[in-house]
Structure 1
Amino acid sequence: MGSDLEPQLPGGTRQASQAEQPKILVVDDEVRMRESVRDLLRAYGHSSVIAANGKIALEILRQQSIELILLDLNMPEISGLDFLEMLKADYPDIDVVIVSGEATFANATEALRQGVHDFLRKPYNPVELIGIIEKVLKKRNLERDFKQVHQQLEASEYRYRFIVDNSPDIIYMLDENGRFCFVNDRISQLLDYPKDELIGQHYSAVVHEEDIEKAKYAFAERRTGDRASRNVEFRLRCRDNAQGSRYFESRSVSIELNSMGIYSNSDDGDSKRYVGTYGVARDISERKRAEEIINFQLYHDLLTQLPNRALLRDRLGLAISQARRSGNQLALMYLDMDRFKVINDSLGHVAGDQLLQTVANRLRNSLRDSDTLARVGGDEFNLLVPEVTDKEDVARLVEKVLKNLKTPIFIDGVEVFVSFSIGIALYPDDGETMDTLIKHADIAMYHVKRRGKDGYEFFSSNMKTMVDQHLSLDSGLRRAIDEEQLHVYFQPQIDLRSGEISGMEALLRWKHPEAGYISPTEFIPVAEENGLINEIGLWVLDAGCAELKKWRQAGHNQLNLAVNVSSKQLAQADFEQQVFNTLEKHGIPGSALELEITENVLIQDMDQVINKLRQLHAAGICIAVDDFGIGYSSLGYLQSLPLSTLKIDRSFVSGIRATNNRNSIVTAIIAMAKELGLRIIAEGVETESQHQQLKQLGCPHAQGFLFSRPMPKEQTAQFLNGVELQQQHS
């Protein structure tokens, strides 16, 4: 009755006493890891000892009986793989389970080849570890029982044949001519050969034709002892069956062979005569398939099944070597999907994955068998095209790819259009190394992005110059903030009816100590790209409000300040609060501030933009649309947004003539703004003719060089006091 009350382990295994349990050795250089494993084993009733490194573990093995080792690969002094070699030589009967964070393909393969029972990667699931241990110990118990049964039945031929015929391995004997004289039933299960049919047949009848030479000396081994064949891998050929009754998935089976020669004493008793070979062939197909899967995952992208960056570099290196020998060209392309983030965020990541798979299939179907398409990032691909004739040859292929992508893709019932920006580098003209070609194709791709996306460009040397300039601007702009090289200039906005100054627009200027003044059209895009625009924009707002406070204290209470705002600034979660804090800091009412945004900002994220602008408008802040008429958004936003001002773009103003024949666009904008109750400012007024025509068209406000160029703050104060105004009219 006492045995019925003993605690049970998971799976129904009865917990035995510590003395009855096999000992487990935990080898790990991490203290917490090995102690936690020991505690886990103790909780499940297993006796264990721990070792901090391979040297201590070997000392324990000399003193104690160990059946199972839990081994970490990455250890000081003696690595896990070196320890395995020592263990295999001196303690071949001990089972090993790898429990390691070092799980590269090479290490995993080497460990499996050295007879490791299983491979578990850190961090592991404790239940999974206990399950593996139970499985190993159960296997050892079975092996121990098998040995006992084998010893008991050794004297009996019948019993011996029972064991052999039920072995999971193929067991065979060959005569001195290499013909089967015995083979067990396992060969029928693995290769579909009736064993009686093979008796008298040469062993080559079951060896794969490509492995005949490899099997020649192993299958019909003549050597014995340590010199005999061990763990030789090759393939056996399955039986051809015209009736089609075979159920095998493969036409061959991978096996691992151990064999030795058999000798009998000669008549004189002084020498031995070779009489044949005894061998055991183990099916290792599952292990081979596991190795193939690991190898595939190492060199392919699992989502699209395309080669990954590692395989691309391998093939690119080979293609460069071949091109160098043959004198041919090759093309490397960098493909980046346009607007993928918008699609991914809108439809979800699952839909984004489906889109990438569909796009990958379309790209693959556009290529030759010799081309390599690889996924190297989220929505980035590289295309290697070997043996190209000239640029026209490459251009035709790219146009074919782009054409195949024009057809819409349906994801969960939603119609999606995709386009790519493609940069192309040619070997050897654009580079003779892998890294150079990849870098130059990337530069060409970004050139397409800046130009408007959806197209392709071949790399040229001036692109690299532009990139170098871009990098120079990036680093220089960071220094400019710290070294106070940035300045705020102001350009007046004029009331055309009264001629008075109605407002000032704050404009950013960069005075570089070496290059002089750098145009905002050059450095503002860089600031938006590297994220500095948020810091710079807040600084411009603060500096502008500081000057506005001085002007209003000097009696210019009618003045408003206009400040440009980028999409990056609007995207900040606390943008509105930053504006409110700045106004409060300088004691400026919200009605004295006008924030200028472009039409393109409005189409970034309409819902978010509307919410932010409404909060700003509620505080009295005016919202102006800058460069109106050149954006891509619908005019419908004019009624949905809390706008107060439209600024007519200078491109329309420059087209104003002395007659009204060519002024229809400006006339329409003015009429539409008046109908909506919006304030109007014309930008870029440079001639008196434009000035007079705008007055006749009913445009109330304007700014431009005709009235004043942008001025630093000191000159602006003088201008407001009438000094500069008098000089212009004198």
Structure 2
Amino acid sequence: MESFFNTFGNIEAIKYVMNSIEDMVFIMKVENDHFKYEYINEATSKVLNYRNHEIRGKIIEEVVPHHISRQLITQYNKVAQTLRPQKFELNYSTKSLELIGEVSLNPILSDDGKCIFIIGIVRDLTERAKQYQELHELKLTLQSKQEQLAFSKQQYEALFLNHPDAMFLMDLEGGFISCNPAAERLAGYSQAELIGNSFTDFLSDTEVDNTVDKFNACIADRKAISYEVDYLDKNQNKLTLLITNIPLLVHDRMEGVFGTARDITEIKRQQEQLAQMAYFDYLTGLSNRRVFDEELAWALDKAVLTNESVALMILDGKEFKKINDSFGHDTGDAVIKEMAKRIQVAVRKTDIVARLGGDEIGVILPDIETKELVENIAERIIKSMHEPLHFNNARILFGMTIGIAIFPTHARQRNDLIKFADEALYHAKRNGFDYSFYNKS
């Protein structure tokens, strides 16, 4: 665990997020050609009957049966090599466990762009797959269109009315023929309001074209198709739905489309939280070092093409260790958060502010026309720190020192620009200045 959390921050906060997710979550460390378990959440422990200390440090081959580990390693290698997420379906079959899972693998990159961790999220589709199979088998036993649209009461109630997912039946034009109570609850509309109307009547303009394309593909290809849709229910609540369209065939003749909808809004939010760990600082919400490096490289590339200047500021808190020692780390964290807020207010909207570590913050100022503009921004930042912070019944005085280097005046290479801004910072600290520009002499 330490290596992952040393990279991405607060252990308890991230563990809380992981364990609040109903899906299984794995954090895997990438070491050469092996993938080692770093952490599994509580949902994973319950399903696989492993505890973190039992699995941590083991490679996939030591935990998963050979016929499954080969498939998993292939997918993990794709993520590590392409640096792109992968999604696939996994049939996990052992003597003690039968699981059908939708697997999402997401790379976590180091500052130099290498894949160092992979976060896996597995959504258990076993029960739903069984229910779909039961519905499919039931459909095959029906002999006529009338029978297809009027299931026997007992089977209809068991598999349609009482299903937790929203279910609905549509004609070939997309008009609703029937729906279950879960569909009414999800949509916010009654069955009477839905039946007879097209599904397009309930979608925003931005979602209609894609959804119609998926619906038509289901009919043309005669295959089930799943996709995500952003949806506003009747009460204007914004939801993300996982839609599945299934062709309804009778004697090889297309008679309609059966559909399901599942609310995955919370799952998407949790996935975004996990992804955010790779790009944003957990304490301040600022961009992290990885984003800072990417934005600086982009700003410098653009400046070369447009013949513009870019200023780089490296900021460091004054006597920050003294604040931590005197008032505690909670107060130190509060000071860092307050500094981040004030810096964002003091700079321009086009400037990039990132936390580089501890109380060190970097600011990228693109499109700089004059040195005076940089000085004005530096002075606004310094002035913004004059007001004390009141925290835990204490009055905290704090400030910042700034080192500045300008491209291409001081340096033409990214690493040199960072180095010179650091040197300017140390020069300012040694001489008691609020800020200092790099000086070659």
Normalised TM-score (structure 2):
0.69
Larger Rg: 1
For 1:232 and 1:330, locate their aligned partners in 2 and report how far apart those are by CA, in whole Å: 43
**Hey, what does 1:195 align to over in structure 2?**
191
**DSSP-derived class of the 2:417 partner:** helix
**DSSP-derived class of the 2:367 partner:** strand
**Hey, what does 1:457 align to over in structure 2?**
436
Higher-strand-fraction structure: 2
**Structure 2 residue aligned with 1:217, among 213, 216, 225?**
213
* CA displacement 1:240-286 (0-9 Å, x = unmatched): xxxxxx4xxx7332122222333456xxxxxx654432222222212
**Hey, what does 2:7 align to over in structure 1?**
none
**Structure 1 residue aligned with 2:99, among 92, 95, 102?**
95
Aligned-residue offset at 1:362: 1.7
**Hey, what does 2:355 align to over in structure 1?**
375
Q: How does 1:699-714 map to 2 (within 5 A)?
A: none
**Structure 1 residue aligned with 2:246, among 235, 241, 260?**
260
**Hey, what does 2:26 align to over in structure 1?**
none
**Hey, what does 1:238 align to over in structure 2?**
233
For 2:91 and 2:359, locate their aligned partners in 1 and report how far apart those are by CA, in whole Å: 50
**DSSP-derived class of the 2:398 partner:** coil
**DSSP-derived class of the 2:297 partner:** helix
**DSSP-derived class of the 2:357 partner:** coil
**DSSP-derived class of the 2:387 partner:** coil
Aligned-residue offset at 1:41: 5.5
**Structure 1 residue aligned with 2:61, among 53, 61, 78?**
53
For 1:149 and 1:259, locate their aligned partners in 2 and report how far apart those are by CA, in whole Å: 13
Task: Answer 1 or 2: higher relative contact order, Cα 8 Å, separation at least 6.
Answer: 2
For 1:400 and 1:297, locate their aligned partners in 2 and report how far apart those are by CA, in whole Å: 30
Aligned-residue offset at 1:145: 9.3
Question: Does 2:155 correspond to 1:175?
Answer: no
Contact 2:308 2:369 in 1 (8 A): yes
Aligned-residue offset at 1:301: 1.4
* CA displacement 1:538-593 (0-9 Å, x = unmatched): xxxxxxxxxxxxxxxxxxxxxxxxxxxxxxxxxxxxxxxxxxxxxxxxxxxxxxxx
**Hey, what does 1:413 align to over in structure 2?**
393
**Hey, what does 1:349 align to over in structure 2?**
329
Aligned-residue offset at 1:143: 7.9
For 1:357 and 1:374, locate their aligned partners in 2 and report how far apart those are by CA, in whole Å: 12
Percent pairwise identity: 24
Aligned-residue offset at 1:54: 8.2
For 1:81 and 1:161, locate their aligned partners in 2 and report how far apart those are by CA, in whole Å: 45
* CA displacement 1:381-440 (0-9 Å, x = unmatched): 001122222110111111111111112223333333222210112222233443232222
Aligned-residue offset at 1:368: 2.4
For 1:361 and 1:52, locate their aligned partners in 2 and report how far apart those are by CA, in whole Å: 43
* CA displacement 1:198-217 (0-9 Å, x = unmatched): 22222222333323332222
Contact 1:178 1:220 in 2 (8 A): no
User: In structure 2, do the counterparts of structure 1 residues 277 and 96 end up closer, same or farther at CA, with 3 Å as the change threshold?
Assistant: closer
Any stretches of 5+ residues in structure 1 without a counterpart? 1-27, 44-49, 62-70, 118-135, 240-245, 266-271, 463-730
Q: How does 1:25-64 map to 2 (within 5 A)?
A: 53=61, 57-58=65-66
Contact 2:90 2:100 in 1 (8 A): no
User: In structure 2, do the counterparts of structure 1 residues 94 and 331 end up closer, same or farther at CA, with 3 Å as the change threshold?
Assistant: farther
Aligned-residue offset at 1:347: 1.3
Q: How does 1:286-435 map to 2 (within 5 A)?
A: 286-435=266-415
Q: What code does the residue aligned with 1:88 have?
A: L
Aligned-residue offset at 1:288: 0.6
Normalised TM-score (structure 1):
0.44
**Hey, what does 2:147 align to over in structure 1?**
none
Contact 1:405 1:418 in 2 (8 A): yes
User: In structure 2, do the counterparts of structure 1 residues 323 and 251 end up closer, same or farther at CA, with 3 Å as the change threshold?
Assistant: farther
* CA displacement 1:320-345 (0-9 Å, x = unmatched): 33333333222210001111111211
Q: What code does the residue aligned with 1:276 have?
A: G
* CA displacement 1:286-336 (0-9 Å, x = unmatched): 221011111222211111121111122222233233333333222210001
For 1:73 and 1:429, locate their aligned partners in 2 and report how far apart those are by CA, in whole Å: 53
Contact 1:208 1:252 in 2 (8 A): no
User: In structure 2, do the counterparts of structure 1 residues 87 and 215 end up closer, same or farther at CA, with 3 Å as the change threshold?
Assistant: closer
User: In structure 2, do the counterparts of structure 1 residues 307 and 425 end up closer, same or farther at CA, with 3 Å as the change threshold?
Assistant: same
Aligned-residue offset at 1:91: 6.2
**DSSP-derived class of the 2:196 partner:** coil
For 1:258 and 1:149, locate their aligned partners in 2 and report how far apart those are by CA, in whole Å: 14
For 1:415 and 1:72, locate their aligned partners in 2 and report how far apart those are by CA, in whole Å: 59
Q: What code does the residue aligned with 1:457 have?
A: S
**DSSP-derived class of the 2:336 partner:** helix
For 1:346 and 1:384, locate their aligned partners in 2 and report how far apart those are by CA, in whole Å: 32
User: In structure 2, do the counterparts of structure 1 residues 373 and 215 end up closer, same or farther at CA, with 3 Å as the change threshold?
Assistant: same
Q: What code does the residue aligned with 1:286 have?
A: E
For 1:283 and 1:258, locate their aligned partners in 2 and report how far apart those are by CA, in whole Å: 12
User: In structure 2, do the counterparts of structure 1 residues 334 and 74 end up closer, same or farther at CA, with 3 Å as the change threshold?
Assistant: farther
Contact 2:92 2:100 in 1 (8 A): no
**DSSP-derived class of the 1:311 partner:** helix
